Amino acid sequence: MELVRSHVLICGGTGCTSSGSQTLMDEFEAKLEENGLSKEVKVIKTGCFGLCALGPIVVVYPEGSFYSRVQKEDVEEIVKEHLLKGRIVKRLVYDETVEDDGIKSLNDVNFYKKQQRVALRNCGVINPENIEEYIAVDGYQALGKVLTEMTPAEVIDTVKKSGLRGRGGGGFPTGTKWDFASKSVNEQKYVCCNADEGDPGAFMDRSVLEGDPHSVLEAMAIAGYAIGANQGYIYIRAEYPIAVKRLQIAIDQAKEYGLLGKNIFDTGFDFDIEIRLGAGAFVCGEETALMTSIEGHRGEPRPRPPFPAVKGLWEKPTILNNVETYANIPVIINRGADWFASIGTEKSKGTKVFALGGKINNTGLVEIPMGTTLREIVEEIGGGVPNGKKFKAAQTGGPSGGCIPASLIDTPIDYDSLISIGSMMGSGGLIVMDEDNCMVDIAKFFLEFTVDESCGKCTPCRIGTRRLLEILDKITKGNGTLEDIDRLEALCYHIKNASLCGLGQTAPNPVLSTLRYFRDEYIAHVVDKKCPAGVCKALTRYSIDAEKCKGCSACSRKCPVGAISGEIKKPFVIDASKCVKCGVCMETCKFGAVVKG
């Protein structure tokens, strides 16, 4: 193996690729060549570092310098100063890492300090397109151990003891699920992986697949051995082209190395994995719908029981786990159930990856031990809400989840605490909202999503969600009544109780949780006909504060419909009947004289 003195790690995740990391990679190669450093410095494309807000990210080892928002023009400086002369380009490193006398370790930076990377252990560390790098970090060791030293029952027992629960949202104990499937008697069984990450604003699974695809393959093979299956399917969104490509590369390499396929490790155990592309249907994240879709049909859910562990894919016993759940398996085998169970809380073991987004400074991917409070995530790891605004609520669980208001910011994040406050863990989307977000509008946003994505098979979901949306629409347009709020709430419970699958059963959650914590906002919409956050256009009025207005006419010149009139140097007025509420006047006014409310 060639020896090099420095490594340049460039993030090749979707976030950084979108902000141009491939161009940087080419530029680095070119500039290194130009400066005669190609043999001494190696450029590697890795998975996600997590701090997507600062992408594209470049990390140079051995120093561990964390360069953020690197542009093509900056590359030459990094090559000439840092790699040639050994002087870190302080101008470009993440400013949190800069200390008076040098650069501090990334682990001491607020964003990383409270994180513990288990599922993401290899993301941003190895080149995901090279199996040897995975093997170098103990990859496929767990599979080897399982096949040569453990019985299937011992594997299931270890997973049970670790306390690992499904990371896709439901939180069902993984070991118990495997146990059910192992006890189903059938010649043919299947292991499936749910990579159909459909929650808007969530990209944890994609980052694992892009940054560490082999860990999922290894875990699926382990699961196959445990339940007695020799065929696996990964159902992945077609919207994730980078992840699909890297998974295929990983599968091909694993087969070439004999780590998938026939007679793995000479133990007589066969296991093969195929990729199946989703085609854009949120309901396919539901387990029975996902299996129907792999079978090539419309992805409609089936009634349970029979559960997939008894009759799943092609009516054979099947287990389905989520990507992040699988990513935890090899570490649990290698380091033991006790080690894993020592992380987290009594009933929620291990860590959870969250995609932190919305109104927060450090958007990106974070992995925290269960039991970390929301406050630690938002204020310390996330760096708080930008522009001096106030934290209003965090939304977890996407269209199936609910919101956590500011008053509950000290809630520990684990499965049971979140359920008890009317939200849920979900697959890991965590969207932060500030005072400028209207909670009725957010509920409406999620309902628009579920109405779109309801598969239409059962009536409560197909028709019920549409009625919910209609009532919400009426409220945001200022035509709602107090009875509408009661009707909304009653309908929510009917839909929850009567729907066929998880999509319908959870669809009312965004409404119920906003009603629970922000009922006053709903009431403001129907009684006072006001949107306190100023989001709902029909309820927003623009006016000019006569005391602040200097009469400069800037707003009236910008107004697209000529709704503003007045005399120069005297206060102007807005004609509410003409106003289309575009807000241009407010953006234009230099004196803050235009008010919304």
Tell me if 209 contacts another protein by CB under 8 A. Answer: no
62 touches another protein (CB under 8 A):
no
Please report whether residue 554 would count as binding another protein according to CB under 8 A: no
Select 398 or 422, whichever has its Cβ closest to another protein: 398
Among 158, 162, 318, 363, binds another protein (CB under 8 A): 363
The greatest distance separating any two alpha carbons of the chain, rounded to the nearest whole angstrom, comes to 90
H helices within 405-508, ranges in order? Answer: 415-420, 439-453, 459-476, 482-498, 502-506
Token pair, residue 115, equals 């994180």
Stretch that binds another protein, among 81-89, 192-200, 338-346, 477-485 (CB under 8 A): 192-200
271 phi, psi to nearest 5 deg: -155, 130
Q: How many residues bind another protein (CB under 8 A)?
A: 51
Residue 67 β-bridge partners:
58, 93
DSSP class of 390 = P
106 is a site residue for another protein (CB under 8 A) = no
Q: Count of CB atoms within 10 A of residue 272's CB?
A: 15
Burial 121-159 (b: 16+ CB within 10 A, else e): bbbbbbbbbbbebbeeeebbebbebbbeebebeebbbbb
Q: Check residue 198 for interaction with another protein (CB under 8 A).
A: yes
| Identity of the amino acid at 122 | N
Minimum Å gap between C-beta 92 and another protein is: 18
557 near another protein (CB under 8 A): no
- Taking CB under 8 A as the criterion, the residue among 355, 503, 531, 555 binding another protein is 355
Cβ(415)–Cβ(347) below 8 Å = yes
**Residue 259 CA to its chain's centroid (Å):** 30
User: Which of residues 47, 299, 464, 534 is near another protein by CB under 8 A?
Assistant: 299
Closest separation in Å from C-beta 300 to another protein = 8
Q: Does the footprint of another protein cover residue 14 (CB under 8 A)?
A: yes
Minimum distance between the CB of residue 587 and another protein, rounded to whole angstroms? 9
- Cβ proximity to another protein: between 68 and 345 the closer is 68
Question: Which of these ranges, 24-32, 256-264, 292-300, 328-336, lies near another protein under the rule CB under 8 A?
Answer: 292-300
Per CB under 8 A, which region of 79-87, 327-335, 443-451, 461-469 contacts another protein? Answer: 443-451
C-beta of 121 vs 237, nearer to another protein: 237
Q: For residues 75 and 281, which CB has a smaller minimum distance to another protein in the complex?
A: 281
Q: Is 201 in the site for another protein (CB under 8 A)?
A: yes
Site string for another protein, 140-179 (x = CB under 8 A): ----------------------------------------
470 closest CA partner among 458, 456, 487 = 487
Interface with another protein (CB under 8 A), residue from 129, 138, 239, 435: 239
- Is residue 53 at the binding interface for another protein, with CB under 8 A as the rule? yes
- Asked if residue 314 binds another protein (CB under 8 A), the reply is yes
> Tokens 């561990």 label which residue?
64
Q: What are phi and psi of 319, to 5 degrees?
A: -110, 145
Nearer to another protein, 175 or 429 (CB): 429
Residue 47 binds to another protein (criterion: CB under 8 A): no
321 contacts: CB under 8 Å, gap ≥ 6? 166, 168, 174, 177, 192, 193, 194, 223
The stretch among 26-34, 87-95, 221-229, 445-453 that binds another protein (CB under 8 A) is 445-453
Whole-number Å distance between alpha carbons of 480 and 484: 6
- Six-digit token pair at 317? 């016993």
Is 76 strand, coil or helix? helix
Structure tokens at 50: 């997590």
Q: Contact, 400 vs 503, CB < 8 A? A: yes
Among 88, 126, 156, 281, binds another protein (CB under 8 A): 281
Distance between CA atoms of residues 78 and 29, nearest Å? 12
CA 91 to chain centre: 31
- As a three-state string, the secondary structure of 132-149 is HHHHHCCCCHHHHHHHHH
Rule CB under 8 A: choose which of 221, 319, 442, 555 binds another protein: 442
Interaction pattern, residues 396-415, with another protein; x per rule: CB under 8 A = --x-----------------
Which residue, among 16, 396, 451, 453, has the nearest Cα to 201 in the 3D structure?
396
CB 116 within 8 A of CB 343: yes
In this chain, which stretch among 123-131, 218-226, 253-261, 353-361 interacts with another protein, using CB under 8 A? Answer: 353-361
What residues make contact with another protein under the rule CB under 8 A?
Answer: 14-15, 18-19, 51-55, 198-203, 206, 238-240, 276-282, 293-299, 314, 355, 357-359, 363-364, 395, 398, 429, 431, 433, 437, 442, 445-446, 449, 455
